[in-house]
């Protein structure tokens, strides 16, 4: 019998999660398959019921469900609750528990690239679900100062209160400066746009984008001229590695998964 895993989100057709997880299942001789389920925001409650009915063993959760799904799950892991976003669901004998592995993905992505976060001044662009996990990772890594710029200022303000960081109005982005800049908005996904202009990007030594389609976004193409860049596949890979461990208790073949992801994203 094959067990079923998958990703829920909207859109999901561009997701590379099926590539890495199906490869890992195969390599580790686990009889399981991983699919992509497009679930619109108004169908989320039904979809979660469906997971139980169909006995789907585990899920990745992406845009736009990471925050909303919390209310439909039976249990929430402490860290996921603190972050306020779930990107992983484990079905344990009918009990659905939500976890967050995105923040570990962020920490690992910086670590493998040899970039220290401790004591750094970091600018985060965006205040959505992904941004929360990024900020949590930065706090855990003891970053010195975290400034969050968001188009909708109120959302940055909520994060300011939640995480004790500093919210900045979008209009002040032109004055942003620091050591590291992290792009967490959806701007640049499947389009040649950047939410941050070159003059600003040029002030940073390290830039990370969580968008991985295209692999080298406009934001990263500019940043590359001024310093080190970390693309969105790194976070995807390492959050996926942690997911796989939660679901199976087995260490996945990280290097093979990485190779497959870069091959596919080329």
Residues taking part in catalysis: 66
Beta bridge partners of 207: 181, 229
87 assigned to a ligand binding site = yes
State in angstroms the smallest separation of the CB of 127 from ligand ATR.
Answer: 5
Compare residues 57 and 65 and give the one whose CB is closer to ligand ATR. 65
100 a known binding residue?
no
Is 130 marked within a binding site?
yes
CB of 27 to ligand ATR, least distance (A): 29
In terms of CB distance, is 235 or 261 closer to ligand ATR? 235
Using CB under 6 A as the criterion, which residues of the chain lie in contact with ligand ATR when the complex forms? Answer: 63-64, 66, 126-131, 150-152, 155, 184-187, 195
Spatial separation of the C-alpha atoms in residues 72 and 176, rounded to whole Å = 38
* Residue with Cβ nearer ligand ATR (66 or 108): 66
CB of 132 to ligand ATR, least distance (A): 8
Question: Is 151 known as a binding-site position?
Answer: yes
By C-beta, is 158 or 254 nearer to ligand ATR? Answer: 158
In angstroms, give the least distance from the CB of 126 to ligand ATR: 4
Residue 126 known to bind ligand: yes
Tell the burial category of 172 from Cβ atoms under 10 Å away from its Cβ (0-12, 13-18, 19+).
exposed
Binding-site residue set? 15-17, 62, 78, 87, 102, 126-130, 150-155, 210, 212, 232, 239
Binding-site residue numbers for shikimate are 15-17, 62, 87, 102, 212, 239
């Amino acid at each position: 019998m094959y067990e079923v895993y998958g990703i829920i989100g909207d859109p999901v057709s561009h997701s590379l999660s099926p590539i890495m997880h199906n490869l890992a299942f195969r390599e580790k001789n686990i009889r399981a398959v991983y699919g992509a389920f497009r679930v619109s925001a108004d169908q989320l409650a039904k979809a979660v019921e469906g997971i139980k009915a169909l006995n789907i063993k585990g899920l990745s959760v992406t845009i736009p469900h990471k925050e909303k799904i919390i209310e439909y799950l039976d249990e929430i892991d402490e860290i996921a609750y603190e972050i306020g976003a779930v990107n992983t669901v484990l079905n344990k004998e009918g009990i659905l528990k939500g976890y967050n592995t995105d923040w570990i993905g962020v920490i690992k992505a910086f670590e493998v690239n040899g970039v220290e976060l401790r004591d750094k001044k970091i600018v985060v662009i965006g205040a959505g679900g992904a941004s929360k996990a990024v900020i949590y990772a930065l706090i855990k890594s003891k970053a010195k100062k975290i400034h969050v710029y968001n188009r909708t200022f109120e959302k940055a303000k909520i994060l300011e209160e939640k995480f004790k960081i500093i919210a900045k109005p979008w209009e002040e982005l032109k004055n942003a400066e620091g050591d590291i800049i992290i792009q967490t908005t959806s701007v640049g996904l499947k389009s040649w746009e950047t939410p941050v202009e070159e003059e600003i990007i040029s002030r940073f030594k390290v830039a990370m984008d969580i968008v991985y389609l295209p692999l080298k976004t406009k934001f990263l193409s500019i940043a590359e001229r001024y310093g080190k860049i970390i693309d969105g596949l790194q976070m995807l890979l390492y959050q996926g590695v942690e997911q796989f461990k939660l679901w199976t208790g087995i260490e996945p073949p990280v290097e093979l998964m990485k190779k497959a992801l870069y091959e596919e994203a080329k």
